[in-house]
Amino acid sequence: MSERFDEAYWEQRYRGHGPGHRREPNPYLVAAVADRAPGVALDAGCGEGAEAGWLAARGWRVTAVDIAATALRHAREHATALGPDVADRIDWVRADLTGWTPPAQRYDLVCAHYVHPATDGPDLLRRLAAAVAPGGTLLVVGHAPSPANPAAGATVEEATAVLDAGRWEVQLAEARSRTAAGHHGHDVTLHDTVVRARRRP
């Protein structure tokens, strides 16, 4: 996995996206925070910034992190198109989540969507969880492992195993399926692992 999902892999992927390529924010994020007052958020593995832009447009201050410079360039362009008020609320950080550690207990929301760590997945989850402020939310959405691709991501059990019950209230931990638009305009069915948890005050 480390060779496949390294910086070169993501650069090649995002270079294939045209300037008009955009996607909607992840629906699990929308459902999780649509009614919440804005705060400070970390978007880990932000890609081309759909979630970061959506959050910033609703008043959140966002730190958006990705390994691929091309993805961050596209993300900045998309945020700029949403207006200066949105773009100014986002700090773009180029970093490899394999070893990057965010500030402890800093964010009201930490989200990660389809992140493919080059090393131990639970270690990344622990670092992201440690960045959530008391009372804040951790949202992790990943590809559910399947017989055809058992290493695609974490199971619900693996994702929740890093969350100490004394410190976390797990609000959602499910394997879910949804339909989304594919890269070539055809609908595809995604099988996701979704974990949402609140850090106890």
26-69 confidence digits (pLDDT tens): 999 999 998 999 999 999 999 999 999 999 999 999 999 999 99
Is 95 contained in some domain?
A: yes
Q: Which residue has the tokens 């198109």?
A: 81
> pLDDT digit string (tens) for 124-135?
999 999 999 999
pLDDT of residue 18: 58
Contact 91, 63 (CB under 8 A): yes
**Closest by CA position to 125, among listed 136, 111, 135:** 111
CA distances from 47 to 67, 73, 75, 196 (A): 8, 10, 7, 20
> 110 burial class (0-12, 13-18, 19+ CB within 10 angstroms)?
buried
Range of the domain at 24: 7-199
Q: Does residue 2 form part of some domain? A: no
Q: Which residue has the higher pLDDT, 29 or 21?
A: 29
Q: Is the pLDDT of residue 148 over 70?
A: no
Is pLDDT above 50 for 1? Answer: no
> Which of 3-7, 36-40, 94-98, 139-143 is predicted with the least confidence, judged by mean pLDDT?
3-7
82 assigned to some structural domain = yes
Q: What is the pLDDT of residue 16?
A: 67
Which residue in this structure is represented by tokens 């959602």? 172
In this prediction, residues 144-167 reach a mean pLDDT of: 80
Confidence (pLDDT) at 8: 73
Task: Count up the domains in the chain and report the number.
Answer: 1
Residue 161 has pLDDT above 90, yes or no: yes
Residues 6+ apart with CB under 8 A from 170: 160, 163, 195, 196, 197
Instruction: Note whether residue 1 is domain-resident.
Output: no
**Residues 65-123: pLDDT tens digits?**
999 999 999 999 999 999 999 999 999 999 999 889 999 999 999 999 998 766 668 89
* Residue 193 is assigned to a structural domain of this protein: yes
Whether 140 is in a domain gets the answer: yes
Listing from the earlier edge strand, what are the strands of the sheet with 187-199? 90-94, 61-66, 40-44, 107-113, 132-143, 187-199, 168-181
CATH of the domain at 35: 3.40.50.150
